[in-house]
Structure 1
């Protein structure tokens, strides 16, 4: 059966702890880009949710169960993440880094996705990209982009970016103290095209995986319907 764009699912994670932020606008533009190809697209906002920091004292638990021992909102996000064919991270800059909640999410996500595996780690091949915005041109956007791209590689995923020359390793943005995004038209277009690139590359990978189904190892066909659950009380 041929794969249509509507069979591709893109998850856009708005990593801003504030609602109605500039990051939320950029996340929406990326979602519009993915939707323009017909891809099913979900925006997940971390604002108002709770993510505790990884304690790294529960390896036996998540290795045995595939879940995190902490009972908070990570499980809902992990369920969206594992189902997606493409992931777009949109985050603001906090002290040349990401908000602490995003660091907690990524650390714990890696632990539970790879903690409960038998044999080889799944080759997830989710397509990913990032949008990072701060208050200055040199506030650390590329530092965070490099971190997110490394995270995607570590998760056996494929990082992509928007169109050059404006975007090299990610889509960067700057907002002044009044909240106005600098070169708004260019940044919005880059965010939109990142959504397009993630969706179209995800479709290419899905079609290739289907065409090579008889020759690829099982690691490429992981359980996308896997359910992460909080610990039983």
Structure 2
């Protein structure tokens, strides 16, 4: 992957997308604490614009538009440009004309996994600014299937299905060789307890059999890696033998 993995869309479609994304601006403002702040010094008091976006961006489709709201408490008299810095340097720049507080960050599935920092360009800084950080990784999927097995149906056979999004092929594929953790719901009905770690095999499957004649609820959690987000399956309940 190269530093050109994250690209900007043409202005005309971006303007259309901007209008669609405006409806979600209020929700992003309410979630302002999701951006990790780090202040940049400046002699101008009383105004510290802050880009606000979701904390995690999952690479799970060829392209997506991520709304980035500029939170500010002062009136600007000129356009503000915010650089997007990825693991390999500058990958994009967002533009906020006077009177506008929303731009869209175009992310493709060729993006380099890692941290992305939103900050002012290194030159021309004339005001305080609060940077934002988001984590970009490939998405994953997890599913768990359970049924009774064995003599007197006293065994529970659990089948794990685990996938991750391959950006080079634009599709989900087996997480063969990776690990996942099977959990069982505790007697309190709220706490999940460790049951077994399994290694994903060919086709994305792994199986585990245990002795349990009583009804129980299970789920599986994909392990997180440097490039792939974790994922928790929906729970499955296997009834009493």
* TM-score relative to the length of structure 2: 0.26
Higher relative contact order (CA 8 A, sep 6+): 1
Structure number having the greater helix percentage: 1
* TM-score relative to the length of structure 1: 0.26
